[in-house]
């Protein structure tokens, strides 16, 4: 750090030394000339000055005045670059903050969805999400402050920003203008008015001091920004030495197009999504109770040979409930409208009941046998519902068409199992999708992109422009020294009397 400070001091020292020397020299000159009548005295020589003695200071004044004008134009160009670079820095900074806000919102969406999808984790996740709102709100506040306050103030000061540095050059130009007017008046019969050259070189000494001071400041900032750009370029390859292992790895992930989670070793925390499995309903496990093991084995081992039941008898039972001739004698309490006119089902046609009834499946706009049965007997619900409720029966008997459909195909258990399996599959798919979306949102390459834009604006445009403006200020100060000397010489020589005719011819 000490050696770096010494190197900066070497760059800044010339301007500071020249500024101090100029100040001391100015004070000594004014003191000696005005108080002690030294350094040429307060009055011109009685014998006057030759043409050459007048011409040399004028030529030197013109040459170095032209140099100051050229440096002023150069500084004007680079000052425009500085202003535009700072504007670009503000825009890049706003882009970075807005990208961070969008990044947090993208990461929050799958977490909120998980909160809404998994009932058992609602309280835990919602608590965490509620307490994290300050991050997004704080970043939005930064964006609003930058847009409404800092950037607005910066943009409102366009004239000041563009004229701050040029103010010093304007003083130098004013000195040149005063000097030029004084020289012109000194070459005319109105040479007594050349006294305004006193004002010119006094302003010149003041401007000289400020030129060297401001150039030293600009040189210091140029060196500081230049070294900072070098360090950040090196650090961009590996941020670990700067921010430590954890923070450095996180930033390295953004710059190397890696996952933010991988950099922070959080992959294992979300690895459950790759192997998550919602168990399906297993009747064996549902009946695997100690007290019911034997009963479960007996039930699960049952087949067509366990009970002496003929499948054709089940079909005959179905025919009883779907045939007018069989319903009438067996269930006399039913209304006359309960006459489906079916009852022709057989083992061969039980899987295609519409064939037994001489219909087409699409006639009922259905796609399965069970749906066909339900649609076929739905019109007979009220007509075939005259059931006498006994003390052993339920108060709300099953509807006729529902009973026939259930008789045709027992769907209660299978539907329940399928629905529970569907819930499990949906939950599993939702969790996997949310975790996958969260992992995808953890890519932060936008940080590297915005960093590159900031680096280009600061190191590629602002720093070189500041260095060039500092050099222009320093060189203008150097050129102003001979201009001031010429003004001091001319203030007496232009106001002095002319030489004799003989001396003029010699001149």
Q: Which residues of the chain have pLDDT under 70?
A: 1, 3-10, 33-34, 36-49, 100-101, 103-172, 175-176, 178-179, 181-196, 246-247, 259-311, 328, 330, 332-333, 386-397, 406-443, 495-507
Reading the block at residue 8, the tokens are: 């900066």
Q: ∠ CA 289-292-294 to the nearest 5 degrees?
A: 120
Residues 373, 375, 377, 382, CA torsion sign: positive
Predicted pLDDT at 506: 44
Q: Which of 170, 175, 174, 179 is nearest to 58 (CA)?
A: 179
CA distances from 143 to 98, 134, 147 (A): 7, 14, 6
**Residue 341 host element (H or E):** none
Could you read off the pLDDT of 298-317 as tens digits, one per residue?
Answer: 555 655 555 555 667 777 77
The whole-number pLDDT of residue 267 equals 58
Quickly tell me which residue has 């000194």 as its tokens: 186
Q: Per-residue pLDDT tens for 67-117?
A: 888 888 888 788 777 777 777 777 777 777 777 667 666 665 665 655 565
- The pLDDT value recorded for residue 439 is 63
Residue 110 CA neighbour count, 13 Å, CB half: 18
The whole-angstrom separation of Cα 123 and Cα 279 is: 24
Taking the complete model, does pTM exceed 0.75, yes or no?
no
Nearest to 281 by CA among 148, 419, 400: 419
Angle, alpha carbons 13-14-19 (nearest 5°): 100
Residue 93 and residue 181: Cα distance in Å, rounded? 49
Assigned token pair, 167: 């103010």
The whole-angstrom separation of Cα 333 and Cα 327 is: 10
Task: Compute φ and ψ for 443, nearest 5 degrees.
Answer: -90, 125
Q: What angle do CA 245, 249, 252 make, to 5 degrees?
A: 140
Decide if 475 contacts 74 (C-beta within 8 A): no
Q: What is the pLDDT of residue 255?
A: 76
Q: Are 466 and 218 in contact (CB under 8 A)?
A: yes
Q: How far apart are CA 397 and CA 389, in angstroms?
A: 8
């Amino acid at each position: 750090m000490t050696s770096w400070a010494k190197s900066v001091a070497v760059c800044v020292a010339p301007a500071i030394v020249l500024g101090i020397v100029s100040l001391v020299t100015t004070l000594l000159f004014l003191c000696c000339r005005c108080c002690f009548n030294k350094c040429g005295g307060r009055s011109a020589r009685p014998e006057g000055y030759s043409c050459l003695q007048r011409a040399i200071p004028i030529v030197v004044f013109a040459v170095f005045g032209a140099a100051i004008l050229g440096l002023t134009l150069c500084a004007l160009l680079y000052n425009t670059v500085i202003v535009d670079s700072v504007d670009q820095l503000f825009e890049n900074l706003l882009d970075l903050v807005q990208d961070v806000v969008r990044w947090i919102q993208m990461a929050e969406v799958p977490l909120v969805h998980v909160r809404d999808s998994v009932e058992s984790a609602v309280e835990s996740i919602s608590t965490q999400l509620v307490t994290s709102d300050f991050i997004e709100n704080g970043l939005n506040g930064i964006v609003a402050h930058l847009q409404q306050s800092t950037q607005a103030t910066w943009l409102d000061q366009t004239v000041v920003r563009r004229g701050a540095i040029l103010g010093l050059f304007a003083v130098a130009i004013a000195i040149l203008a005063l000097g030029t007017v004084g020289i012109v008046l000194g070459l005319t019969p109105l040479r007594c008015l050349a006294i305004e050259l006193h004002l010119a070189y006094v302003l010149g000494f003041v401007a000289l001091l400020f030129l060297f001071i401001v150039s030293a400041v600009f040189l210091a900032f140029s060196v500081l920004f230049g070294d900072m750009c070098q360090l950040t370029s090196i650090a961009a390859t590996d941020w670990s030495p700067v921010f430590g292992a954890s923070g450095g790895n996180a930033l390295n992930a953004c710059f190397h197009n890696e996952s933010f989670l991988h950099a922070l070793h959080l992959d294992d925390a979300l690895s459950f999504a790759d192997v998550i499995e919602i168990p399906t309903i297993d009747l064996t496990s549902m009946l695997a109770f100690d007290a019911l093991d034997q009963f479960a084995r007996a039930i699960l081992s049952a087949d067509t040979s366990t009970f002496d039941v003929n499948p054709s008898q089940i079909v005959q039972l179905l025919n009883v409930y779907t045939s007018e001739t069989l319903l009438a004698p067996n269930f006399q309490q039913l209304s006359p409208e309960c006459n489906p006119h079916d009852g022709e089902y057989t083992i061969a046609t039980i899987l295609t009941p519409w064939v037994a009834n001489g219909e087409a499946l699409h006639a009922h706009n259905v796609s399965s046998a069970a749906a066909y049965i339900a649609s076929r007997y739905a019109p007979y619900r009220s007509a075939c519902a005259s059931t006498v409720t006994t003390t052993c029966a339920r108060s709300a008997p099953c509807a006729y068409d529902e009973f026939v459909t259930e008789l045709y195909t027992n769907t209660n258990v299978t539907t329940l199992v399928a629905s529970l399996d569907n819930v499990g599959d949906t939950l599993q798919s939702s969790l996997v999708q949310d975790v996958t979306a969260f992992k995808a949102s953890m890519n932060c390459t936008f940080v590297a992109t915005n960093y590159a834009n900031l680096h280009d604006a600061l190191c590629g445009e602002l720093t070189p422009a500041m260095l060039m403006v500092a050099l222009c200020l320093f060189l203008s100060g150097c050129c102003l020294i001979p201009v001031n000397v010429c003004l001091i010489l001319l203030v007496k020589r232009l106001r002095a009397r002319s030489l004799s005719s003989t001396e003029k011819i010699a001149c």
